[in-house]
Amino acid sequence: MIDLTIVEALKKLKSREISATELTRAHLSRIEKFGSELNCYITTTPERALADAAAADERYAAGTPRVLDGIPIAMKDLFATRGIRTTAASHMLENFVPEYESTISQKYIDAGTVLLGKANLDEFAMGTFSKTSYFGAPVSPWQRERKLTAGGSSGGTTSAVAGGLAMGGTGTDTGGSIRFPASITGLVGVKPTYGLCSRWGCVAFASSLDTPGPIARTVDDAAILLSIMAGHDPKDSTSAPNQNFHVESELEPILGNGKKLRIGIIKEFKDVEISADMKKLFETRIADMKSAGAEIVEVSIPNILDALAAYYIIAPAEASSNLARYDGVRYGLRVEGSDIYDTYKKTRAAGFGEEVQRRMIIGTAVLSSESYDVYFMQAARVRRLIADAFTRAFEQCDLIVCPAGAGTAMPLDSDLSPLEYYALDLFTVAMNLAGVPAVSTPAGLATNGLPLGMQVVGRRFDDLRVLQLAKHIQQFAGVDNRPTKIMGE
């Protein structure tokens, strides 16, 4: 049952061949068996899951099922869940139990999904290997004796979904946190158009970049999850009005049968060093698309290699402002000091980990009056140039493809400097700066047997076509990502 896709499971649930309770129990025993080894959940919610499943079964029996009734999922522990601890993987929020439900998690409830637990992540979603988590890093189910990273920051969700400890789940992508972990775990990760999915009730990192999105094993599964997540939310001022995403059933082909599609390749990425495997798989997938009738064109995003520098100014700047609220007074951790300022200092020193503190310091520095013009404003200009360049590139092509990362998953004990971690985001951050939709989909397996992913990028709100092309690529690649194949029964 663990290997079923969401699409397959829904058919079996509807025909009552399986029950939501059975499906949920299968996942709960998988969590019991592998949960602590993979460390993919910060909090599991087995009682809630069984209650959700029982309610779904009643609706199936009554002939009134909801869209995703009975599908067991993992929720990144950045989305506030009423009555269930929401930590952002930080000591600061270790014991925070929200009084409210985030819009996204509410939509999952309304769709009838079963909540298995809150998935691990980098502290406040800052990181690339989920190693900054106060609760320790999640592990990839692939070649698990090697203790590889499941990526970050949504690494708990990718570990859970790839290992069969959830059928799908949520992530957030500020600079690549959905796409990068999905790419190295053989999964599909969707960063929708900025504004398509509500941020309300999601712990803020960098508000102008934060994008909630789904993670699943197939593009069709990801599309169904995105359908329930998308839509205007009056509670989020940056939520796009009059935009939605909805698929009724499996995605239609966008290639073949004489269909015309112009696919762009980014010129500036051609000189970036990537592994020989990634290079080869990327070229093979391009050849596949060509033989299916796509026209391949070269496009230019002149400043794309400056995206990293701009991102690592803008994101910390916004973070330093967003995280000012954790002061020991309003909620979360409080370490008593000699006066109020001392309490602030002690609370923030004890509550935030090293990487979060580094970002607070960078963010505060680039926003200071001496640095604002040279750093923050300059980064904002680069951001504008990149966004405009994407708009121009999409006059020459319908969709763009590029690698999702340079190589396969690294061991968790790799010793990288902060800058080396930041450099891993080279292929993903530009899409956040531009707000355009981007999906990472399996491109194939490297010679070491580990998965590699590639991205499809589209115009703002062209999320549907992005997913359609991603589905073709996943089919061309044919990576077997069934959990029992990856890590056994």
Least distance in angstroms from the C-beta of 462 to ligand GLN: 21
Using CB under 6 A, list all residues that contact ligand GLN: 125-128, 153, 173-177, 205, 315, 425
Q: Distance between CA atoms of 103 and 393, rounded to whole angstroms?
A: 34
Among 484, 489, 413, residue whose Cα is nearest residue 162: 484
Least distance in angstroms from the C-beta of 222 to ligand GLN: 17
Least distance in angstroms from the C-beta of 426 to ligand GLN: 11
Nearer to ligand GLN, 397 or 426 (CB): 426
Least distance in angstroms from the C-beta of 202 to ligand GLN: 11
Least distance in angstroms from the C-beta of 204 to ligand GLN: 11
Nearer to ligand GLN, 174 or 455 (CB): 174
- How far apart, in Å, are the Cα atoms of 421 and each of 97, 127, 195, 312, 442? 31, 8, 27, 11, 22
Characterize 82-91 residue by residue with b for buried, 16 or more Cβ atoms within 10 angstroms of its Cβ, and e for exposed.
eebbbbbbbb
Query: How many CA atoms within 13 Å lie on the side-chain side of 47?
Result: 2
Least distance in angstroms from the C-beta of 312 to ligand GLN: 8
Choice among 130, 133, 177, 239 that is catalytic:
177
Among 240, 138, 127, residue whose Cα is nearest residue 185: 138
Among 478, 463, 471, 409, residue whose Cα is nearest residue 441: 471
Structure tokens at 116: 């298995």
Does the N-terminal peptide bond of residue 153 adopt cis geometry, omega within 30 degrees of 0?
yes
76 is catalytic: yes
Beta strand 262-266 with 399-403 is parallel
235 is catalytic: no
Nearer to ligand GLN, 334 or 359 (CB): 359
Q: Is the dihedral of CA 410, 414, 419, 420 positive or negative?
A: negative
Beta strand 168-173 with 72-76 is parallel
Contact 178, 440 (CB under 8 A): yes
Non-local (6+) Cβ contacts of 156 within 8 A are: 39, 40, 41, 42, 74, 76, 77, 119, 120, 121, 130, 133, 138, 150
Nearer to ligand GLN, 153 or 474 (CB): 153
Choice among 19, 102, 133, 153 that is catalytic:
153
Nearest to ligand GLN by Cβ — which residue? 177
Nearer to ligand GLN, 34 or 421 (CB): 421
Residues with catalytic roles: 76, 153, 177
